[in-house]
């Protein structure tokens, strides 16, 4: 029998937590033959709902679930964790000032970094979902120096999947026949969804998407704005922010990281920059990555046109500003 993997979910009593906990417990993240132990963390005010989730997990009689720790104690939550999915944070709706949101969340990520540094497994893989996702991950990297920096990532897979969905709908093809979109940069409105390298499957092999889109203009205008405003559109329709699609994307991110990306395919992940494509080293920036044997690497050698260059630099600039704002909040 396989040794169980311990997965931490912070902010587990929240919306995305509600959606992702059953996915993990049923093998969507790590596969149908991988036993898991769940560590669920939330704050004192959410202790009751956390208890409720724990009761439901018991009632679901799940064969893969070998243990549950539901706690408001950060140290207990981080103990021997192999994978950490960080959803916990103050929701944007209650905090209107960006600086206030940033300062609240970066101090949470500093504290959680210190706990992970001390108590998590040495090769723990971390996925930060909570906003500002890239900058929270950057702070986490700074305050958990013994966790390899390649193990600290943030979620841009939701944006990646959204782009595939938009293209599929527009071209009336199935989403599984399209690949290699790229989300560059920050998980924010400055993100750049790049379709220059997208291909789709035809009877005659892989063809560039641009050959199939009569309306190239759409890709440079409406497509990009739809992408940038999709989060807001979901809130308007659902009266709540995306939960199921965010949970799905987080499972996709971890699954591909652990098991690898299919040959010839890449995905978008927020990872620390090594200077590839002229992005300042050390930023947590979304790149196209391939994964193999539990490790990601940035796809090299893609041609970048002038339009892309400007978009990639603009989102990097925003991340640099966020970083200095975050650091000033921690002083």
Give the chain's largest Cα–Cα span: 59
How near is the Cβ of 159 to ligand NAI at its closest, in Å?
7
Dihedral angle computed from the Cα positions of residues 163, 169, 174 and 178, in that order, rounded to the nearest 10 degrees: -30
3-state helix, strand, coil in the chain (%, to 5): 50, 20, 30
Question: How many residues are there in the chain?
Answer: 331
How near is the Cβ of 136 to ligand NAI at its closest, in Å?
8
Q: Is 11 annotated as a binding residue?
A: yes
Q: Is 231 annotated as a binding residue?
A: no
8-state DSSP, 294: T
Q: For this structure, is 253 an active site residue?
A: no
Residue placing its CB nearer to ligand NAI in the complex, 27 or 132: 132
Please identify which of the residues 39, 160, 187, 253 carries the catalytic annotation: 187
Residue placing its CB nearer to ligand NAI in the complex, 34 or 226: 226
How near is the Cβ of 243 to ligand NAI at its closest, in Å?
6
Residue placing its CB nearer to ligand NAI in the complex, 73 or 211: 73
Q: Is 15 annotated as a binding residue?
A: yes
Residue by residue, DSSP assigns 221-234 as THHHHHHHHHHHHH
**HSE-CB of 235 using CA atoms within 13 angstroms:** 8
Residue placing its CB nearer to ligand NAI in the complex, 166 or 242: 242
8-state DSSP, 159: H
Give which of 24, 10, 25, 30 is closest to 71, Cα–Cα: 10
Q: Is 17 annotated as a binding residue?
A: yes
Q: Helices 15-25 and 244-259 meet at what angle, rounded to 10?
A: 40
Q: Is 210 annotated as a binding residue?
A: no
How near is the Cβ of 294 to ligand NAI at its closest, in Å?
22
Give the residue at shortest CB distance from ligand NAI. 14
Contacting positions for ligand NAI (CB under 6 A): 10-11, 13-17, 41-43, 46, 87-92, 108, 129-131, 133, 155, 158, 187, 241-243, 246
- Ramachandran area for residue 185 (φ above 0: left; ψ -120 to 50: alpha; else beta): left
Summarize the annotated binding site for substrate as residue ranges. 92, 98, 131, 162
Residues marked as catalytic: 187
Summarize the annotated binding site as residue ranges. 11-17, 42, 92, 98, 105, 129-131, 162
Summarize the annotated binding site for NAD(+) as residue ranges. 11-17, 42, 105, 129-131
């Amino acid at each position: 029998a396989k040794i169980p993997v311990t997965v931490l979910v912070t902010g587990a009593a929240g919306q995305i937590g509600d959606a992702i906990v059953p996915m993990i417990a049923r093998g969507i993240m790590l596969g149908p033959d991988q036993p898991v132990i769940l560590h669920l963390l939330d704050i004192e005010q959410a202790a009751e709902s956390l208890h409720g989730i724990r009761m439901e997990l018991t009632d679901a009689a799940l064969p893969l679930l070998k243990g549950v720790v539901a706690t408001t104690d950060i140290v207990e939550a981080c103990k021997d964790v192999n994978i950490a999915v960080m959803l916990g944070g103050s929701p944007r709706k209650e905090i209107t000032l960006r600086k206030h949101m940033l300062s609240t969340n970066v101090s949470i990520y500093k504290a959680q970094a210190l706990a992970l540094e001390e108590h998590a497994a040495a090769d723990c893989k971390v996925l930060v979902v909570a906003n500002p996702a890239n900058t929270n991950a950057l702070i986490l990297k700074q305050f958990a120096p013994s966790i390899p920096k390649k193990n600290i990532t943030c979620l841009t897979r939701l944006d990646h999947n959204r782009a595939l969905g938009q293209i599929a709908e527009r071209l009336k093809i199935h989403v599984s026949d399209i690949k290699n979109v790229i989300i560059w940069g920050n998980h924010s409105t400055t993100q750049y969804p790049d379709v220059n390298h997208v291909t789709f499957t035809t009877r005659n092999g892989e063809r560039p998407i641009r050959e199939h889109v009569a309306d190239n203009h759409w890709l440079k205008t409406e497509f990009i704005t739809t992408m940038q405003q999709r989060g807001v559109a979901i809130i308007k329709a659902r009266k709540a922010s995306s939960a199921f699609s965010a949970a799905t994307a987080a499972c996709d991110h971890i699954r591909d990281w652990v098991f690898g990306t299919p040959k010839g395919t890449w995905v978008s992940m927020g990872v620390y920059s090594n200077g590839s494509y002229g992005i300042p080293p050390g930023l947590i920036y979304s790149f196209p990555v391939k994964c193999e044997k539990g490790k990601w690497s940035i796809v090299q050698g893609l041609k970048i046109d002038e339009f892309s260059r400007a978009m990639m630099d603009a989102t990097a600039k925003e991340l640099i500003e966020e970083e200095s704002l975050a650091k000033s909040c921690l002083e």
